[in-house]
Amino acid sequence: MSNTKLALAVLWPAFWTGLPIKLALTLLFLALGMMKLEALFGVAFLLLLSSPVTVLAMPFLIGLFDLHLSEGAGLSLVFLFSIPIDMWAVGLSARTVFIERLQLEPQDGMAVQLWGKIAVVGGACVVALWAVEGFVTGLAKSVAHAVLEMELLKALPVAERISLELTLWGSVSTITLVVLLVLSLWAVGAVIQMQARQARPLAESYQKLVHRWDLMRVPADQGLILTAFTGAGVVMTLLFWSGLPSTTPHPHETYQQPVAKVAPVLKPVEVLNKSERVLTQAESAVEALEKKKAEESSQSKKASKGKPGPKESSAATATDAPVAKTAVSASPSLKQ
């Protein structure tokens, strides 16, 4: 089997095998606020997807190329967790390929060994790929731009210009990327071939081989794996619930959040005592006024025309506004 084909046969399933677990971790860290993804979301996804080869390349990409994917420790943690996840995924994938496609016996410890070699070689390829692709794309973009600036094309309208320019540098960029990918796969494939050469051949029928790698996926202790898996999932869910923000992390700039009415701390006894004092003060003031009024009315001929009691006392209160007002204003700030 050719190097590129072999690399693809091992890496493609390994990428996808690890992804669901990495995504679950990413989601958890997002909910806990440990990760804030930036605009290059798609790039982050692709790097995470191809993580056996990108894990060791990440520090270089961030350092050398100023790649800024996220805020917070979350993404780095996911890449860290990727290491054991990928060791398992690469192991599973490689063993399957060895058994079915190459008809070779996988060795013990192959998973970790292969992971290590793929991470180093793949990592180097990713860094090189990034550099070359970046350079070529930049060059293609400026050439395409220059082409569009030509006199011949000056009359072309905006929409056509955009598509033409995009196609020009896009096709160059894509072809370069494909070529670089094939080369990288070839390099990784060579590493896997080296491992394959050390393996001894298997002489079983095709059916038996398929059966073997298929059953390889069934663990010896099902109950344990099942319980551990579900338990881990439940724990992660509980953490997810604890961290999930209940209102949007991107609120609209003009939206008025309802002002939470904080009930003022009431000291009821104090309040009521004060109110009592106010009332007794007001009562005594009213009594005094009524006495005064009675004296006045007994003197004056123009008595009030038998209006009911409350009206009199309110009239009295009105005239003695300053007393009443101070009494009223002395009551604490209960009035909202």
Partner 1 sequence: MNTTPGTTTQPSAVEKILAFVDERVGLKAMQAKMLNEPVPGGSRWAYVFGSVLLFIFIMQAVTGILLMFYYVPTADHAYASTQYIIHEVDYGWFLLSYHFWGSTAMVVCVFAHMSQVFLWGAYKKPRELIWLVGLALFGIVMGFGFTGYLLPWDQRAYWATTVGVEIMDKTPVVGDFMARFLKGGPTPGQMTLSRFFVIHVMILPAALMGLAGLHLFLFRAAGPAGPFRGSPEELKAKTDYFFPRQIWKDIVAMATVFASICILAFWEPVVLLEEATPDPGDYHPEPEWYFLFLFQLLRLKIFSGEFGQFLGAIALPGAFMALLAALPFIDRDPERNIFKRPIALIGWIVVMASILIFTVSAIINREFLD
Partner 2 sequence: MQPKLKSKVRAADRDVGEVTRVIMDPLSHDISHIVVSLNGAGERQVPMGYVQAVTEDLVQLRPPSSEVEALPPFKRDDYVTTHEVEIAHLEEKIHVTPGEVLVPLPDLEKSVKRRTFFANMTHAIGFLIGLPLVFPVLRYLMKPMYAPFDNGWLKIGNVGKIKSEDIGVQYKYKKQVKEAYMPEQEIDKNVWVLKATPAVLDKIYQGKDMEFRDPIGNTIWVNKKDVPYVAFSGKCPHLGCGYKWRTHKLLGQVFLCPCHLSIYDASGKVLDGPAPRPLDPLPIRVSAGGDIQIIDMEFKAGTKAQVRIV
- Under the rule (CB under 8 A), what is the footprint of partner 2? 207, 210-211, 214-215, 217-219, 222, 226, 229-230, 233-234, 237, 240-241, 244, 246, 261, 263, 266, 268-269, 272, 275-276, 278-279, 282, 308, 310-311, 314, 317, 324, 327-328, 331, 334-336
CA distances from 162 to 146, 147, 149 (A): 13, 12, 12
The entry of partner 2, partner 1, none that residue 314 binds, CB within 5 to 8 Å by partner kind:
partner 2
Query: What is the C-alpha separation between 254 and 257, in angstroms, rounded?
Result: 9
CB 42 within 8 A of CB 76: no
Please give the DSSP secondary-structure letter assigned to residue 71. E
- Between 89 and 316, name the residue whose CB sits nearer to partner 1: 89
Sign, CA dihedral 46-48-54-59, equals positive
The reply to whether 138 sits near partner 1 by the rule CB under 8 A is no
Query: What is the C-alpha separation between 25 and 40, in angstroms, rounded?
Result: 19
- Between 246 and 329, name the residue whose CB sits nearer to partner 1: 246
The reply to whether 24 sits near partner 1 by the rule CB under 8 A is yes
Query: What is the C-alpha separation between 126 and 133, in angstroms, rounded?
Result: 10
The entry of partner 2, partner 1, none that residue 65 binds, CB within 5 to 8 Å by partner kind:
none
Site string for partner 1, 236-255 (x = CB under 8 A): --------xxxxxxxxx-xx
The reply to whether 197 sits near partner 1 by the rule CB under 8 A is no
- Between 157 and 308, name the residue whose CB sits nearer to partner 2: 308
- The distance of closest approach from Cβ of residue 123 to partner 2 in the complex, given in angstroms and rounded to an integer, is 31
- Between 168 and 315, name the residue whose CB sits nearer to partner 1: 168
The entry of partner 2, partner 1, none that residue 230 binds, CB within 5 to 8 Å by partner kind:
partner 2
- Between 40 and 210, name the residue whose CB sits nearer to partner 2: 210
- Between 246 and 299, name the residue whose CB sits nearer to partner 1: 246
Residue that the structure tokens 């551990």 belong to: 228
Write out the two tokens for 132. 């070359």
* Cβ density class 91-125: b for 16+ within 10 Å, e for less: bbbbbbbbbbebebebeeebbebbbebbbebbbbb
CB 104 within 8 A of CB 202: yes
Among residue numbers 256 through 285, which ones bind partner 1 (CB under 8 A)?
257-258
Sign, CA dihedral 291-293-298-299, equals positive
Please give the DSSP secondary-structure letter assigned to residue 305. -
- Between 27 and 179, name the residue whose CB sits nearer to partner 2: 27
Interface residue with partner 1 among 26, 50, 173, 195 (CB under 8 A) is 26
Query: What is the C-alpha separation between 292 and 135, in angstroms, rounded?
Result: 102
Cβ count near 286 (within 10 Å)? 19
- The distance of closest approach from Cβ of residue 174 to partner 1 in the complex, given in angstroms and rounded to an integer, is 9
- Between 178 and 328, name the residue whose CB sits nearer to partner 2: 328
The entry of partner 1, partner 2, none that residue 327 binds, CB within 5 to 8 Å by partner kind:
partner 2
* Cβ density class 180-213: b for 16+ within 10 Å, e for less: bbeebbbbbbebbeebbeeeeebeeeeeebeeeb
The reply to whether 37 sits near partner 1 by the rule CB under 8 A is yes
Which chain residues interact with partner 1 by CB under 8 A?
16, 19-20, 23-24, 26-27, 30-31, 37, 41, 157-160, 162-163, 166-167, 170, 206-207, 210-211, 214, 244-252, 254-255, 257-258
